[in-house]
A and B are shown apart, each in its own frame.
Chain A
Amino acid sequence: MSGSAVKVIGFFDSPFSHRAEAALCLKGVPYELIQEKDLRNKSELLLQHNPVHKKVPVLLHGDRRAVCESLVIVEYVDEAFQGPPLLPADPADRAAARFWARFIDDKVTVNPVRLTSQVSSGSFEVVNRDRSNGVHVPGRRQCSKAFWLAMWTEGEVQRGFVKEIKENLKLLEGQVKGKRFFGGDAVGYLDVAASAFAHWLPVCEEVAGVSLVTAEEYPDLCRWAKEYTSHDAVKRCLPDREELLARFSARKDSFVAMARSMAPAPEK
């Protein structure tokens, strides 16, 4: 089975898509990349292979049905292929890596791609403004939207989200203190999970004109970001920074408009 052809359905802008590719590159597994052109207009191939979530990335391995969800894909790649292990050997260390990866996805994720495609398809809601009883129902994933809002809103609204994000980033940084990578001496599962902070976050900061993560405040995180993005295997599957910057810059106005519509209504 491990000799069968591997394909990834991905999207240039997506850090989640990168996770799948990074896992394969780190294991030295050759694969064919099939890029979605526009996530607001998804291909038949994607919809066929991920009917449940309709999202990238999707991993196709031989004639088996698809593996979906980026972190599930990373663990699958770790188990299905030879090569350096991505998760640590010790069960408690594995649990810790999974915990922090989940923390990243629940609390701090940077994904303008997923958010914008959700908003334009109408499937996104930060706060449910059901007026009949005025009850706000934050979903488990609301916290991750805070990062997006921290980037693209202004003034008092922005300050609140920035504070929350900075606290969460400090917690995450604690996991890489004194180590070259989250995984220790080698790049691992948690590095791949955190990759959005290494490559996408600086691009978003540049487009938004905000500075959330500085070397002064986050010396370990910034050092790690340089290590990660210059790693030989990882470099091969990171989207070109200039092109990413151009693509996000072109959509800045829509990001700002979306953030404004997503921000909670001011307290009465």
Chain B
Amino acid sequence: MAGEKKQGLQLLGFWVSPFGQRCRIALDEKGLSYEYLEQDLANKSELLLRANPVHKKIPVLLHDGRPVCESLIIVQYLDEAFPAMPALLPAGDPYARAQARFWADYVDKKLYDCGTRLWKLKGDGHAQARTEMVEILRTLEGALGEGRFFGGEAFGFVDVALVPFTSWFLAYEWFGDLSVEKECPRLAAWAKRCAERPSVAKNLYPPEKVYESICGMKKRLGIE
């Protein structure tokens, strides 16, 4: 291992992780070739622990051996290290970039935690999570506005941040007894539009697989 110089891009990920998928989609959108290294999270590799000693989590991008951690930070890094088109963050427009960062941060702060509470909790906790989930989805739909994508005409940073969670919509619908199509038709249409992109089609798992994986997690945690 010592003295071996790693070249190019490598991504440490976990198949169902929406955070890892963000990076894969960004890499494909930018036309970058990379080596994907699936990680066993129950038995973390030396490579992962060395690359992300602080959090010990995926995804981690290695660029010539130098690690970059945290999915949105990785996506921004790719945009800045490989500035050739297409830009994921709108180039030359600080205000548009700020809006993109704000909404990607919103997805990070709100969606995954709320989704987790939706499948983990019962009773009042579950009811609260359901209410919040609908509010989050509606807020995101508001941010989307009338555009094809969150940035307008071009698929960009916020789309990359959110699109992996579209595989989780089915699970949210099942566990939350809600319908994304009914609550947020424009968001549902956006999800379909994204699914047609090769980068998204290639890297997202079918919603049924995500749902199965959550059921597996529930079983392991002893949740009915």
Contact = CB atoms under 8 A, between A and B. Distances in A.
A57 B183 CA distance: 31
A135 B63 CA distance: 39
Interface stretch (A61-69, A191-199, A231-239): A61-69
Contacts, number: 89
Given A92-B68, A133-B224, A72 B77 contact: no
A103 interface: yes
Chain B's interface: helix, strand, loop or mixed, by majority? helix
Indicate the size class of the contact surface on chain A.
20 to 34
B102 interface: yes
B105 interface: yes
B7 interface: no
Interface string B99-131: 101100110010011001100111111100000
Given A133-B223, A135-B223, A171 B105 contact: no
A241 B93 CA distance: 37
Contacts of B11: none
Contacts of B102: 67-69, 72
Contact of A79 (B76, B97, B116, B121): B97
Contact of B121 (A80, A133, A139, A171): A133
Contacts of B221: 135
Interface stretch (A94-102, A158-166, A259-267): A94-102
30 contacts: A52-B106, A67-B99, A67-B102, A69-B101, A72-B98, A72-B102, A73-B98, A75-B98, A76-B94, A76-B97, A80-B95, A91-B80, A95-B68, A95-B76, A98-B76, A99-B68, A103-B54, A128-B125, A130-B126, A131-B123, A132-B121, A132-B122, A132-B125, A133-B122, A133-B223, A135-B120, A135-B121, A135-B223, A137-B117, A140-B109
Interface of A: 1, 52, 61, 64, 67-69, 72-73, 75-76, 79-80, 91-92, 94-95, 98-99, 102-103, 128, 130-133, 135, 137, 139-141, 171
